[in-house]
Structure 1
Amino acid sequence: MRVVLAEDQALLRVGLTRILAEAGFEVVASVDNGPSLSRALAAPEVEAAVVDVRLPPTHTHEGLSAAIEARTRRPGLPVLVLSQFVEAHYARRLLAGGEGAIGYLLKDRVADVDGFVDSLRRVAGGGTVLDPEVVAGLVSGSERVEPLDRLTAREREVLTLMAEGRSNAAIAARLFLSEKAVGKHTTSIFAKLDLPPAGDDNRRVLAVLTWLDGRG
């Protein structure tokens, strides 16, 4: 898989390039600023991107803006955000298309190389992977909007883990439930959030969007 990497810290950029190459990815562009990232993402051969949020020249949100622009042109382009910051507004915009293939990890919470590579592969396969701290920052607070108030406490737990990109099997293991029970909870969540029958992967993304929108 051909990947674009955007990271302004030189040592980290070189390290990530080597990690990706050793894992079997082809890094077709390794850039350190927003304009270069936008140009790299415009290349038709690019199949995925790993981007930092804040890049030169302004160190605000160049990485995410370039990724959002690229997914506007190519819906579903896999993007894994690797950052020190939680940018809730832009995370919602990345998810807004409902196509999945989005990841958002915090640099200081990536525990090991294998976990990072596995996250990128899940995103490249169309999955959604959100760091638990990102999820917590997006969904914390007491205010909720309808139809989220319809969910039971257990359904909220399932949906939070779903937002982290966990499969039904992983959710079952985490909550000490059977996969069949988790399946029933997810079906109930989809119904309560008024999500019509469609591909389950897409409905999982839409359910997460509804949850994030509860922050207003």
Structure 2
Amino acid sequence: MNAETKQIYIELTKLITTKGLTPSLAAMLLCVALSASNHPHGIPIVVNKYLQQIETVQDQVKWIEYTRNAIVKSSVLSGIPRAINSQTAMYNSLPELYQSLLRKSPTLNQTENYWESRGSKLLRAVYGEEYDNADYILNNASSDLWGWIEQAYGNVFAETTYLGYIETELDVIVTLVQMNTLPQLKNHLKGAIRVGATEEQVKAALLIAHTVRDAFFLNKSRL
């Protein structure tokens, strides 16, 4: 990592105090943005900065788990390789004590019947009256893709051990900005409001997402 890139990461940690979001949520979304934009080496800098604001080891580990899960959810959209690099960078930067306290068993181990039901519930919550039309269009375009979407929603996005619906939708928004997929972003901006996010939260998530994307685009930094 060169000095210029490291300085950009340090500057981005200021987003932890983004107005409209709790610091824990803002710091998590910042890590998601870095993961989705393929800048995993910035994540340890954010993690180290935010953990200094948490008093107990128990609460620090809880936030790490929260952020690890957010990156897993983001990987559905940004790709597994980026998530692997991000999770590895985060884990390797932690002291051994923290590593030993992290969860070892997966949360994504529900039966198919269970995730089909909760996936459909979340899809309808996010898409509202537009759900049936999306179902029809995507089933015609690719039934395999629609089946994967239903599985992703049921077994990943609808898993609420760490992130609820609101946090998951903000996670998705931040990721989609990095992927520059505007049609899907438009849908999820509406979806976030439908599941209970405030306009202030959505605007704050967009601020974090665009700031991260523009920081590297404008500076043309490379890791």
Scaled to the shorter chain, the TM-score interval is under 0.3
What TM-score do you get using the length of structure 1 for normalisation?
A: 0.26
| Higher RCO (C-alpha 8 Å, min separation 6) | 2
